[in-house]
Structure 1
Amino acid sequence: MPRFLRSTRFRVALTAFAASVVALGAVSVWFVLQAESRLRNAAAQLADAHADAIVQLLNTGAEPAGLTLLVRDSIYEVTDRAGRRLVSCPVLDGATLAAFDTLRPYEIVRSDQASVGCAPELRDLDETLTVHVVHAVSGDSKYDVFAGVEIDAEGQAAVDSVRTVLTAGVPAVALLIGVIAWLAVRRSLRPVEAIRGEVAEIGAHDLGRRVPEPGTGDEIARLAGTMNTMLARLDEAVTRQSRFTADASHELRTPLASLRTQLEVLLAHPDRLDWRDTCENALLDITRLQDLVADLVLLGKLDHAGPARLEPVALSEVAETVAAGRADVEVSGTPVVRGHRSRLERLVRNLVDNAERHAVSRVVVAVSAVDGQVVLTVTDDGPGIPEADRERVFDRFVRLDDARARDDGGSGLGLAIVADIARAHGGTAVAEAGSRFVVTLPELKTS
């Protein structure tokens, strides 16, 4: 199939043409039929009047042969019950009003004097005459009366002209509508083509580009806005992923370099170093690597995994289990959330670990329900977080205590994991004044 036949413009234009043909054709047929019906109804009313007049004459005792003198300017025919013609006006040769609704010049006997007083339109008839014929029966049921009236010739000519015009005009108008639809769709799709062309040129390393947004405010403008929003999200995701990969590489390089250095020195000078101390230091680096890899794997799951299987979880029980022996726990009721238990345990553990690293002497974990939300707070009596860093602290590989030894500071992923787990459960994680972290999750109402 040629390419243009598969285009939206052609399909819309063809649909508009076909719909126009059907709609205009149906309206035209209805209009012509209605006009012809009105013409026939008018002729039928007049023919009924003539037939009633003839029946009344026959009912008063008039003979059919005498109707030529009593009835003038009419077209009629009277037959007996056997169908034999008794009288007709005009005198017909071979034709019969009972069977036909047209009269042709050669079917009228003009030389017969009985044809003279009939309808005036018969006197100079040189072409077929279309009549509407009605049937009536005399009161004594001896005679069948057929009366005919010419259908308005001028009206019929007008209807025929309209029919001819519509027969040619409907396809022409439908074709014009199809062409207009083609042009309108082509004009409407120009912004789409511009968007397609721009998207085709955007590569994985060029996500900063945006598609043109027409100022029409219509669906195409909204499509362009949505695509730009999507590109912005992709750009942000790729940038974040690149930064994450670079940070992860850096974080992994340090313990690996330390581990390699220790092993190389031990192999080079086995008699000068205590191999037990070296192995213990190497084991610490391996443990740090293991923890870092586990955190990276969990973040990857949180970023790309689909919805986890959620179940009712009593957050107060999770907090008491995780913080037992490490922090004071204050619980108000037994608020329940719908979540992933192991990940919620990881959320509480990371917050408690972070608080323990900064606390002077005390860590407090509190769980309560407020206005349909379950609120988990972890507070320590440490120096607190500067206001400018309260949002940044949840970014990945962020350490606010850069001067502190790496062994004490963690990987910088703990609070990022907290934020991602809270977000995956439909909640939020924020840092407040002092050393106070607040996680808010939707409460699950239980009957």
Structure 2
Amino acid sequence: MPADRMAWWRRRSLRFRLTVTASAVLTLGLAVSAYVFVAVLGRALLTSIDDEVYQRAREVVALSDAGRLPDPVLTPDNTIIQVLGPDGRIVNATPNTDRLVPLLSPGECAAAVRAGTARVLDGRPYGIPWPLRVRVLDADGGRTVIAARSSDEVESSLGTTGRVLLLGVPLLLALLAAASWLIIGRTLRPITLLRRGAADISGTARSRRLPVPQSRDEVHALATTLNDMLGRLEEADARQRALVSDAAHELRSPLASIRLQLEVALSHPGGQDWQETAEGVMEDVLRLSRLAEDLLALARLDEGRPCRRDPVDLAALAARIAERYGIAADIASPVTVPGDELDLGRVLANLLDNAVRHASSTVSVAVWRSSGSGAGRDTAELTVTDDGPGIPPRDRERVFDRFTRLDDARSRDDGGAGLGLAIVRTTVRAHGGTVHLEDAAPGLRAVIRLPLAAPLNCR
């Protein structure tokens, strides 16, 4: 069955399939080349015989016209010569031919003269086992010169050539197949090393890389790309492990607090203020809830799925959230950006939570359209400013890392888990924007820049 043969073929190794395919193509090419070579060689040999026969016929015609034709006619090769008189009888001939029976009848001679080309004649009736190449020319006095030569030389040459090809072509194919097997094997060796290297990498391996061949070819590019991918996977795995470790560390504190409060309450039920215990447990539960929400938000952002690109009025969104916090807002409405309104609202809420937590007295929000200079595009700019102690310049990038809290934040009971600014940066980058912290003298200012939504074509 063709399907079974295709399945068998697909199960073979790539080296085997490439070698067989290359050998088949070479076989076809050599067969066609041998056929063309033999055909061209035979045609060339026959043309050479025809030219020699014609030359001998021309010489005999010249001697006959000059009246110097000997009898018998002598030739330097085995060319057969018959000179017919006007009555069609042989008047001169070479010793190697019949002097009574002409090779061609008068009518056939006339047709051959008109054709002006050589014709093939079966030599067996004349005791010659090979076909004859015959050429006929007219001479003076009504004479006709017939020149013929056996094609045994052509047959012998072609036979020898065929035997050489029958022996040489299979040998050449075997050598080429062996060379192809070795060359393809050496070519695929780096891929084999890549496979073995990949098989050696276990799920718990660290900093493992695939072997990179020295040649600057496609396999080198593949190995480099795979190593880059392994590097990215290691980085993602490291981030994931760090996230799990930090999350477990952050979860221990509220869980330990809840456990301690409940154990104390259960140990002294009579003297326990259950209202106070419930309030303490509720506070820790809210911390756990916020941490779980932040972790879910980071997990969704880490998936790398493209966020929604709905038109969002950033100015109106900032005004609503600032009003919820009772904060003054400097809004230049409307400022429309493409994005997800819920994610952008979480960004602003996280920034306001931090600002309110650290501000001395004042927190402000501002949104406006910022004009790009030169080839830069216009952007939407959002700032959240507080008059708190601020952050030292050396720590303004570090605070965007996950579970990063400065010492003063750790000492506060209402401090977060250190995920708020990490969510802010990840979300803003997913929307194609940037975020950074700068000095507000006094205090700190968070600055977010987002690309504006493309204007609608109302024509």
TM-score tier (shorter): 0.7 to 0.9
For residues 178-227 of structure 1, the C-alpha deviation after alignment (integer angstroms, 9 at most, x for no partner) is 21222122223333333322322222221322222222222222222222
For residues 106-159 of structure 1, the C-alpha deviation after alignment (integer angstroms, 9 at most, x for no partner) is x117xxxxxxxxxxxxxxx5xx223356999xxxxxxxx9x8854765455444
Q: In the alignment, what sits opposite 1:390?
A: 396
Contact 2:88–2:106 under 8 Å retained in 1: no
Structure 1 residue matching 2:104: 3-state secondary structure = strand
Instruction: Write the letter of the residue equivalent to 2:393.
Output: E
- Residue 230 (structure 1) aligned with residue 214 (structure 2): no
Contact 1:13–1:182 under 8 Å retained in 2: yes
Find the aligned partners of 2:121 and 2:90 in 1 and give their Cα distance: 21
Q: In the alignment, what sits opposite 1:436?
A: 445
Per-residue deviation at 1:36? 2.4
Per-residue deviation at 1:413? 0.7
Structure 1 residue matching 2:365: 3-state secondary structure = strand
Q: In the alignment, what sits opposite 1:119?
A: none
Structure 2 residue matching 1:313: 3-state secondary structure = strand
Give TM-score, length-normalised by structure 1: 0.75
Q: Aligned residues, how many?
A: 400
Per-residue deviation at 1:366? 2.9
Q: In the alignment, what sits opposite 2:348?
A: 348
Instruction: Write the letter of the residue equivalent to 1:218.
Output: D
Q: In the alignment, what sits opposite 1:364?
A: 365
| C-alpha spacing 1:216/1:388, structure 2 compared with 1 (3 Å) | farther
Find the aligned partners of 2:257 and 2:265 in 1 and give their Cα distance: 12
Find the aligned partners of 1:19 and 1:184 in 2 and give their Cα distance: 16
Could you tell me the percent identity over the aligned residues?
A: 37
- Residue 400 (structure 1) aligned with residue 401 (structure 2): no
- Residue 77 (structure 1) aligned with residue 83 (structure 2): no
Contact 1:78–1:88 under 8 Å retained in 2: no
Per-residue deviation at 1:20? 1.2
Find the aligned partners of 2:25 and 2:204 in 1 and give their Cα distance: 47
Q: In the alignment, what sits opposite 1:445?
A: 454
Range moving further from structure 2, 284-293 or 319-328: 319-328
Q: In the alignment, what sits opposite 1:173?
A: 172
> Over the residues paired in the alignment, what is the CA RMSD in angstroms?
4.0
Contact 2:337–2:380 under 8 Å retained in 1: no
Instruction: Write the letter of the residue equivalent to 1:329.
Output: D
Find the aligned partners of 1:422 and 1:151 in 2 and give their Cα distance: 95
Give TM-score, length-normalised by structure 2: 0.73
Structure 2 residue matching 1:409: 3-state secondary structure = coil
Match of 1:102 among 94, 100, 122: 122
Per-residue deviation at 1:14? 1.5
Structure 2 residue matching 1:329: 3-state secondary structure = strand
For residues 82-129 of structure 1, the C-alpha deviation after alignment (integer angstroms, 9 at most, x for no partner) is xxx89999xxxxxxx99x75322xx117xxxxxxxxxxxxxxx5xx22
Find the aligned partners of 1:420 and 1:135 in 2 and give their Cα distance: 99
Per-residue deviation at 1:292? 0.9
Per-residue deviation at 1:255? 1.0
Find the aligned partners of 2:103 and 2:317 in 1 and give their Cα distance: 107
| C-alpha spacing 1:65/1:356, structure 2 compared with 1 (3 Å) | farther
- Bigger relative contact order, structure 1 or 2 (CA pairs below 8 A, ≥6 apart): 1
Range moving further from structure 2, 23-32 or 325-334: 325-334
- Residue 37 (structure 1) aligned with residue 43 (structure 2): yes
Contact 2:313–2:334 under 8 Å retained in 1: no
Match of 1:26 among 27, 32, 36: 32
Find the aligned partners of 1:430 and 1:151 in 2 and give their Cα distance: 100
Structure 2 residue matching 1:445: 3-state secondary structure = coil
Unaligned stretches of 5+ in structure 1? 55-61, 90-96, 110-124, 137-144
| C-alpha spacing 1:151/1:440, structure 2 compared with 1 (3 Å) | farther
Find the aligned partners of 2:22 and 2:315 in 1 and give their Cα distance: 65
Match of 2:90 among 56, 68, 82: 68
Find the aligned partners of 2:174 and 2:36 in 1 and give their Cα distance: 21
Matches within 5 A, 1:158-169: 158-169=157-168
Structure 2 residue matching 1:77: 3-state secondary structure = coil
Unaligned stretches of 5+ in structure 2? 1-6, 62-83, 113-117, 138-143
Find the aligned partners of 1:329 and 1:153 in 2 and give their Cα distance: 110
Q: In the alignment, what sits opposite 2:79?
A: none
Q: In the alignment, what sits opposite 2:76?
A: none
| C-alpha spacing 1:288/1:152, structure 2 compared with 1 (3 Å) | same
Contact 2:409–2:415 under 8 Å retained in 1: no
Structure 1 residue matching 2:404: 3-state secondary structure = coil
| C-alpha spacing 1:39/1:438, structure 2 compared with 1 (3 Å) | farther
Contact 2:380–2:452 under 8 Å retained in 1: no
